[in-house]
Amino acid sequence: MAISKELYPSEDDLLYEEELLRNPFSLKLWWRYLVAKREAPFKKRFVIYERALKALPGSYKLWHAYLIERLSIVKNLPITHPEYETLNNTFERALVTMHKMPRIWIMYLETLTSQKFITKARRTFDRALCALPVTQHDRIWEIYLRFVEQEGIPIETSLRVYRRYLKYDPSHIEDFIEFLVKSKLWQEAAERLASVLNDDQFYSIKGKTKHRLWLELCDLLTTHATEISGLNVDAIIRGGIRKFTDEVGRLWTSLADYYIRRELFEKARDIFEEGMMTVVTVRDFSVIFDSYSQFEEIMVSAKMAKPDLSVEEEEDDEEHGSAEDEDIRLDVNLSMAEFVKKVLNGFWLHDVKDVDLRLARLEHLMNRRPELANSVLLRQNPHNVEQWHRRVKIFEGNPTKQILTYTEAVRTVDPMKAVGKPHTLWVAFAKLYETYKDIANARVIFDKAVQVNYKTVDHLASIWCEWAEMELRHKNFKGALELMRRATAEPSVEVRRRVAADGNEPVQMKLHKSLRLWTFYVDLEESLGNLESTRAVYERILDLRIATPQIIINYALLLEEHKYFEDAFRVYERGVKIFKYPHVKDIWVTYLSKFVKRYGKTKLERARELFENAVETAPADAVKPLYLQYAKLEEDYGLAKRAMKVYDQATKAVPNHEKLGMYEIYIARAAEIFGVPKTREIYEQAIESGLPDKDVKAMCLKYAELEKSLGEIDRARGIYVFASQFADPRSDTEFWNRWHEFEVNHGNEDTFREMLRIKRSVSASYSQVIYFSFLLLLWIFLPSKE
């Protein structure tokens, strides 16, 4: 065979050829030759490569470059082209010496994979794994797994390869499981996933949690229930329910779905019911209930869409049913389906026309939703009083269920742990019996309720009051009073000693000091008892030191109604000794007004003593009404001078913000009693008493108006001059306008100029104050240069 001339060395190649003749085993010379001929034709470079590799068959650099160029040649050729066969032969020759080089194997394996040579590629993969050390197997397995996952690879081949790979690296079992699921090998996928979950040492390289893997197993088992066997699906899912509490609803529906797919519908209903009765969150309950209702709706729809049994089948069933003397168990020719059909024929639960039954099931389920949802909330916290009340309301119209619910509630709720008011359950329970005219049982409920140890005394007192109110509604007045006497009776010394020994004091020991109970009791005595019994109750309240100011006032008003005035006043005296301000304020006001109304001027000295005591003990902010009441007493029944003295004391006792108002009242009363001139000394006293500047200015303006009305123009002008120091001309224009008007009407040119001079002086003084305040602020807030 003639060799083409273009393959012979050219004149430019002679230099490289001569060097190679002298040293044919130099890799550097061959590489320089190839670099120089990088623009040469394809075939000529391959000749050089073949010559170089013949001389240096162990050179990885030459083989790698040669194979890369071979690959680039076939890149755009179809896989049936002869060049691919040449390429494969080249790889085989390279592997004779390069069998320890993983990169050569990878290039060869990728080439075979692209050529779709399944058997040859598989055998080459096995050769690579045998030739390379174990530390480099991961590079081969990555390509091997991609190869077996391609379409057209037999499933059995892929399974065997994956199983071999798991012996090399068991941590990639998740990839195998995904492959099994993708290949629809549900049985082995479920078994592998179950083994992973049973391995406590397993760590997911994909970051999946045990929870997520468990959910994947549950979905796999339920979705392909008929195709997976050998696993206890019920136990697996129930184990997940116990272990993963945040997906309980989903797991229950998965278990029910498993039985539905296996056509065990009654078992699925049992699972739905069990799930709804055990979940503790509303979210999980909603998931289960929605799935359950959807299942029942589908069952009804499927039954209604199914055509009725034909007449022939019905007649056939009747013929078979009439043959009572035939024993179908002896008929060996029957299939299992026919045998079951004949055995269940006529059984009401197996009736093919059960649409009404299925509709009734669906309706019953929908009607139970409020009750079931309430049960979930009660499982979260069985001591939630409000949820028990709502549960009773659900059974409205069914007294038997309501009574059973109340019975369960009062047995379940611990008053010490209760959320809400546990005594309301007992009260509502008793009122339920009362609603149906069963007073005897209502009394029994109340009697049991008062023996419960509640968290607070007020809860126990409320039950006693409700019991008494029930007796009142049924006209049993003596019974109501007797209940209050029982409730307010103080425990005996023996009982106290026994409780102290136990160390746990129940609220019943503190009940006799319940203000709510005593208030109700005293109201009952006022309505149903006599004066003596009512007084005894009031006295007992005072002895126990649980009285309030309102009780003191009510007790005194009761005595006053029955003309026991002195006793009423003694009660007021006790009240003002017991309480301090601000609580005693109402007692003093009522006491003083009642005393003055009763005795007037007959006991004036005693009234004065009372007022003196009242104003001495009262704080400054509460003393004003007492002084006004005291002054009115003196005006009506005493001396005018004493009244003025009282007003004068009041102006000194009240707080600063009330002084102006008090002085105005003082001035008005003095002008009315002694005449206008008498008020001059009061005005002067007010101006000098230390009132705030704005109040001093207001008082000066009124004083100036008074002097002007009396014709004392010079005195009025002097007051304006004095008040000018409190009025800034830039802000208080009203004062200066009034002085201006005064000078226009009553002054002359000199006095007007004097007013303007004073105005300028006051304005300058205020400006100076503002300037110095500004400098002070700068000095405080600006940092020093030091």
Confirm whether 622 is domain-assigned: yes
Closest CA to 462 of 471, 474, 449, 472: 449
Residues 52 and 161 in one domain: yes
Neighbour tally for 114: CB within 10 Å = 12
Confirm whether 349 is domain-assigned: no
**Residue found under tokens 């020759």:** 93
Confirm whether 197 is domain-assigned: yes
Strand pairing partners for 384? 419
Residues 560 and 640 in one domain: no
How many Cα atoms are found within 13 Å in the side-chain-facing hemisphere of 30? 24
Segment (H or E) for 708: helix 693-709
Helix segments in 454-528, DSSP class H: 457-473, 477-488, 493-502, 515-528
Residues 518 and 630 in one domain: no
Q: What is the pLDDT of residue 725?
A: 66
Strand pairing partners for 419? 384
Confirm whether 436 is domain-assigned: no
DSSP-assigned letters across all residues of 573-601: HHHHHH--TTTTHHHHHHHHHHHHHHHTT
Parts of the chain with a pLDDT under 50 = 1-2, 309-315, 318-325, 347-348, 770-772, 774-779, 782, 784-786
The b-or-e profile of 240-256 (16+ CB within 10 A means b, else e) is bbeebeebbbbbbbbbb
Q: How far is CA 549 from CA 296, 581, 594, in A?
A: 67, 11, 16
Closest CA to 159 of 148, 174, 151, 169: 148
Q: What range does the domain containing 754 cover? A: 720-785
Helices 515-528 + 549-561 axis angle, to 10: 10
> Would you state the structure tokens that stand for residue 167, as one six-digit string?
């012996």
**Spatial distance between the Cα atoms of 634 and 641, rounded to a whole number of angstroms:** 9
* Contacts (Cβ under 8 Å, ≥6 apart) of 739: 720, 724, 755
Residues 587 and 539 in one domain: no
**Spatial distance between the Cα atoms of 403 and 502, rounded to a whole number of angstroms:** 35
Residues 518 and 634 in one domain: no
Residues 597 and 561 in one domain: no
Q: How far is CA 20 from CA 10, 24, 28, 45, in A?
A: 15, 5, 10, 15
Q: How far is CA 5 from CA 9, 439, 570, in A?
A: 9, 128, 146
**Spatial distance between the Cα atoms of 162 and 141, rounded to a whole number of angstroms:** 10
> Would you state the structure tokens that stand for residue 464, as one six-digit string?
């006693």
**Spatial distance between the Cα atoms of 731 and 593, rounded to a whole number of angstroms:** 46
φ and ψ of 449, to 5 deg: -65, -40
Confirm whether 695 is domain-assigned: no
Report angle CA 504, 507, 513 to the nearest 5 degrees: 130
Q: Report whether 280 contacts 376 (CB < 8 A).
A: yes
Residues 164 and 71 in one domain: yes
Q: Report whether 187 contacts 227 (CB < 8 A).
A: yes
**Spatial distance between the Cα atoms of 217 and 138, rounded to a whole number of angstroms:** 28
pLDDT tens digits for range 199-237 = 777 778 777 887 787 778 787 878 887 777 777 878 878
> Would you state the structure tokens that stand for residue 468, as one six-digit string?
């008494």
> Quick one: DSSP state of residue 79?
T
**Spatial distance between the Cα atoms of 656 and 662, rounded to a whole number of angstroms:** 10
**Residue found under tokens 């389920």:** 365
Confirm whether 155 is domain-assigned: yes
Confirm whether 244 is domain-assigned: no
Q: Report whether 526 contacts 534 (CB < 8 A).
A: yes
Domains: count for the chain: 4
Residues 67 and 180 in one domain: yes
How many Cα atoms are found within 13 Å in the side-chain-facing hemisphere of 550? 5
Q: What is the pLDDT of residue 324?
A: 44
Closest CA to 20 of 65, 46, 56: 56
- Per DSSP, the three-state class of 419 is strand
Residue that terminates a domain, selected from 231, 256, 272: 231
Longest dimension (CA), the chain: 160
> Would you state the structure tokens that stand for residue 622, as one six-digit string?
């509460």
Neighbour tally for 628: CB within 10 Å = 16
**Spatial distance between the Cα atoms of 267 and 530, rounded to a whole number of angstroms:** 72
Closest CA to 113 of 134, 88, 92, 133: 88
Q: Report whether 389 contacts 374 (CB < 8 A).
A: no
Segment (H or E) for 241: helix 233-243
Residue that terminates a domain, selected from 647, 668, 689: 668
Residues 553 and 595 in one domain: no
* 3-state percent breakdown (helix, strand, coil) of the chain, nearest 5: 75, 0, 25
Residues 526 and 660 in one domain: no
Residues 531 and 590 in one domain: no
Strand pairing partners for 675? none
Q: What is the pLDDT of residue 309?
A: 46
**Spatial distance between the Cα atoms of 651 and 658, rounded to a whole number of angstroms:** 8
φ and ψ of 419, to 5 deg: -100, 110
Residue that terminates a domain, selected from 197, 212, 231: 231
* Contacts (Cβ under 8 Å, ≥6 apart) of 456: 507
Confirm whether 125 is domain-assigned: yes
**Spatial distance between the Cα atoms of 183 and 149, rounded to a whole number of angstroms:** 9
Handedness of CA 383, 385, 390, 391 (dihedral sign): positive
Q: What is the pLDDT of residue 699?
A: 67
**CATH assignment at residue 461:** 1.25.40.10
Residues 148 and 115 in one domain: yes
- Per DSSP, the three-state class of 450 is coil
Chain centroid to Cα 359, Å, comes to 39
First to last CA, the chain: 106
Q: What is the pLDDT of residue 704?
A: 67
